[in-house]
Structure 1
């Protein structure tokens, strides 16, 4: 038989309010430390741990790191003992969140508490890779200084330097090369180099599925500091020059052609090097002219025709000019015939 004291304790336990995860995450997101402290003390420490999952399995620490609230991050870790290595359903840890969003104070706090610098999230992305995708040099430097390895590769075979080449920030590329001189020696699983990546951008009819970013200054860094062959081919036979033409980057295409020409001056093939490079074909026998027409890049079409590239059928018998209906591009072919 229950005694009165037992009944009173049971009643008191029953009056303990249930935590509201949405409210807790909203307080963290809004950076309201005092209100969060009051709420956690009201509902008990259980709500600060694994018993209060958020979207995608996030903890309150993930939320604090994502939104850059270092004071809340420290409060949750120190007052409630939350695990800074907790993973959500994508295996992201708070350090991934802070690095991805460029919150340097949160990154430095987590690293100072011993967070694993090369932890992997889904698809094998490290915090350094995520920082490179955001073009935040200071965060990149902090991670590297705490031992982050720029040579680690994700599931697609990309390392941090490859990702930085996609974003096209010359200063970040120079820094990564200074701390890891061999970082440029990398290819993705489909044999695309950082030079391919830096030289193209999102466009219709891309041969590869990724949306990349053309950046002339980044290409200059890669050609000056690294030892790429300008006509290196990916698994589909595409060169960086063909990528640049396909995506309408005439200045990058000119730079690559000039580099190719200079690179062969000491051989007997010098006289033919420029024409041979321009006439490169992919596995479907498409030339750079096919790619320029498919991308509807009139300036590139005119440049190629003026450089001496002739239209020829691909494996299906399709001429490059058949891939466009734009009058100005068709006029480029007419002018070439007339001359």
Structure 2
């Protein structure tokens, strides 16, 4: 077998976790061993240590590091280290081993992503805990200004968000480079439980705008996450009249209804938001019953808002 073919064969054995064959072949051919230990392979320029960590082969990691002296800080073309691989794929034993061998927990890959950020793209709370307990920083940001908490809110796992708030209670108060908060992120991606938790535990301001003027409520509406939009209306009792005006200028359909036949007027009345009701009426929305026959005005208790609907007839 030609050396190039043998190296390819051994890389495949590394990926498949065949330690016995790998040890045998590398032990009898120094040339192949040198190529394997010093080489960078594939389009990403990975090393054998990257392959072992990515596929979760702890025994091969130990063999490469302890018997062959491979360094744990090897990088590929994206500056990704084996620790990034273990964190991203949720290989907890490999991650613990690499840290025990001196791998830096806050090493950066391309675009300034740390292993903790990579771990937050997954739902493996154990890996996240191991990294933080080993000193990983939750406040470091990538090139877009996102930290691990932003990323966890995008994925939306409540247990992970809860844990991160416990270890760093003020971590919620953060913005990306374009002033987007974790609440924006949860609302945009439809993470209802995450949004609910953020509203319960954190001090986000109603109608907080990013650099483009977009609020979490607008993110929820524009991406079709009506339950999150309703949640934001309920929690921020003063309503979102300014946001509704902005959505209408962007071409939002004021007559749109949800699956139960409820219009934006139903939502505004349920929240007792007189300003929102006025904006909707001025935009041409008329009162109509939902699928159950419920009129928006029947949800009202606010006397000021009730006056706005006086004289308006059911258009169903």
Match of 1:248 in 2: 224
Question: 1:170-319 alignment to 2 at 5 Å?
Answer: 170-200=158-188, 213-261=189-237, 273-274=238-239, 276=241, 279-281=244-246, 285-286=249-250, 289-290=252-253, 298-299=258-259, 302-306=262-266, 307=268, 308=277, 310=280
Of 44-53 and 60-69, more deviation after overlay is shown by 44-53
Instruction: Report the Cα offset of residue 311 of structure 1.
Output: 8.2
Distance 2:253 2:99 in 1: 50
Tell me the distance in 2 between the aligned counterparts of 1:145 and 1:175: 12
Aligned equivalents of 1:140 and 1:39: distance in 2? 36
Aligned length: 277
Q: CA deviation at 1:25?
A: 1.3
Do residues 75 (structure 1) and 45 (structure 2) align? no
State whether residues 88 and 115 of structure 2, in contact with CA within 8 Å, keep that contact through their aligned partners in structure 1. yes
Equivalent of 2:13 in 9, 27, 35: 27
CA distance in 2, matches of 1:151, 1:68: 28
| Contact 1:21 1:52 survives alignment (8 Å) | no
Contact kept in structure 1, 2:254 and 2:264, CA below 8 Å: no
Compared CA separation, residues 232 and 290, structure 1 to 2 (3 A): farther
The answer (yes or no) to whether the contact 2:215–2:243 under 8 Å persists in 1 is no
Match of 1:338 in 2: 315
Query: Deviation at 1:43?
Result: 2.2
Aligned pair in 2 of structure 1 residues 257, 62: CA closer, same or farther (>3 Å)? same
Q: Report what 1:43 is aligned to.
A: 29
The whole-number CA distance in structure 1 between the counterparts of 2:245 and 2:161 is 29
Counting only pairs closer than 5 Å after superposition, residues 152-171 of structure 1 correspond to structure 2 as 152-171=140-159
Q: Name structure 1 gaps, 5 residues minimum.
A: 1-15, 201-212, 262-272, 314-318, 321-335
Of 229-238 and 92-101, the range deviating more from structure 2: 229-238
Q: 1:125 to 1:300 in 2, by over 3 A?
A: farther
Partner of 2:115: 127
Relative distance call for 1:118 and 1:290 in structure 2 (3 A) is farther
**Alpha-carbon offset, residue 197 of structure 1:** 0.5
Q: Is the partner of 2:142 in helix, strand or coil?
A: coil
Deviation at 1:151, TM superposition (A): 0.4
Is contact 1:17–1:43 with CA below 8 Å preserved after alignment? no
Distance 1:52 1:193, change over 3 A: closer
Q: TM-score, normalised by structure 2?
A: 0.80
CA distance in 2, matches of 1:249, 1:95: 36
Instruction: Report the CA distance between 1:279 and its aligned residue.
Output: 2.4
- Quote the offset at 1:64 in angstroms: 0.4
- Judge conservation of contact 2:207–2:240 (CA < 8 Å) in 1: no
Instruction: State the 4+ residue runs in structure 1 displaced beyond 6 angstroms.
Output: none
Task: Measure the CA separation in 1 of the matches of 2:219 and 2:261.
Answer: 14
- Counterparts of 1:118 and 1:300 in 2: how far apart (Å)? 49
Structure 2: unaligned runs, 5 residues or longer: 269-276, 286-312
Match of 2:82 in 1: 94
